[in-house]
Structure 1
Amino acid sequence: MSPNALIPSHRKPRRPSASSRALRAGVTGGFLTLAVTGATVPANAAEKPVSETQEMPTITTALATSAARSADTAEQVAFTYERQALQDSAFSQAAKAAEKHKAEAVKKAKAAAKKKAEEAREAKEAAQARASRSSERSTLSAPSSSTATGSTATLVAFLKAQLGKAYVLGSTGPSSYDCSGLTQAAFSQIGIDLPRVSQDQSTQGTQVGLDNLQVGDILYWGSAGSAYHVGVYVGGGKFIGAQNSSTGIVERPLDYDMPTGAVRVL
């Protein structure tokens, strides 16, 4: 027999390892593998754990739908919270505005009440003043000693004859007068010599109250000794005087310009 003759080996055929079979298998059971023909695995190479070769779970339609629903739910919850926050803010602002309007309304009401009270007080004071003037006029127009007789009649007649004449400062007649020039000229008709100016005339004779006037009493405006105007009481609650350059010599009721005081020289 030839030395090169094939001698059957007593060795068992070498079986491919599990890893080799897996590599040859191609795509098997959902795993992507590479087929390596004739590749051998080193003897010292250990097989990888199943966890390293196991495929990640495939995202199914149900899983995607569930995730989408979860996202929608989270979005809806966020929207609900945001809407609630906006509503709370709006309610807070409305409450503050209502409190502000209420405070303003209370303030206006108090101001209106105060104004009304002041108007009522002023009206009451005005009514009292009118009543007082009316009482004074009634007292001043009382008859008794207001009727002119004798020298007072002459005095009053002279004064009435001067009505309508002009007022001229510093004049003593006969065509024009100032206030003290008229009274001086009138009393000279009955023999009474008065000082020239109103300040001095206001201190002549006897001081009398306005509630006890008689015809012929000299009325003055201002204070005694420093009066700025004079006239003569002619009865019936009236006086005659040279008022000013606009009116001239006129007859007026006492409440036209209530005098300060009076003196009696008759």
Structure 2
Amino acid sequence: MPRPYTLYMDETGNRHPDKKADESRRGRDWFGFGGFLIRGEDNDHLRDAVAAFADKWKLRHPLHITDMISEKKGFSWLERAKQSTRDEFWQGWREVLCSAPVIGIGCVIDRPGYVARGYLEDYNDKWLLCRSAFDIAVERAAKIARLEDRKLHVVFEQDPAVNEIVTGYFRNLKENGLAFDENNSGKYQPLSQAQFAETLGRIQHKPKSHPLLQVADSFIYAMSRHAYDRKFWIHRSLRDRKKLADFALPDEHLPQLGVKYYCFD
């Protein structure tokens, strides 16, 4: 049997639909859950690339993309650096992301669109948005793993407030399958409970400092921001190097396996 795929996952945006939107994010109020798939035999290659980048720039803080872009916390020095240095820094991180032997995958939900469709009122469950994004991302990753007869493991960024909740989502998929309305989801050819049980392996949570979760953070942020900013350069770079499911997979698989944008007009 081939070594498994691992889905490294991070969150971006606010997971609760009942939270008031941040005014600083007007016009791009998303929740995204996802990151990238990587074959077990390729883990060390990417881990070494992240370590080399961090060593070159003497970084001691996690490579959190919003801190990097805003030049805050451990990246405040970028604001004072010469433009040539900033260009070199970003070109280096672009190369880490775009040379990685991975497939970017995830689910991005427009929070205002989610509320406008009445899901919060219909289900009265502030966690359902988070569970929906997780289930969709994991199911699509599992389908990709099944194309190569591989198992799928999941690693997500730990948070004491949600570790058990997210682990419960995973366990529920293995034991019960998806809970989406069959009439609405049938066109996506959802996996059965038996297929989930056959494909899903283990789930683990790791700290923010984990090098592959730092890469996942950039991937899900790029996929999410792309829904509101079509010219976002990280997404364009990943697109051009075919590092996202929408561009890495054959066209016939895209309706069921591509990045899912949910509750957008």
The structure that has the greater radius of gyration is 1
Relative contact order, CA 8 A, sep 6+: which one is greater?
Answer: 2
Higher helix share: 2
TM-score under structure 2 normalisation? 0.23
Normalised by the length of structure 1, the TM-score is: 0.22
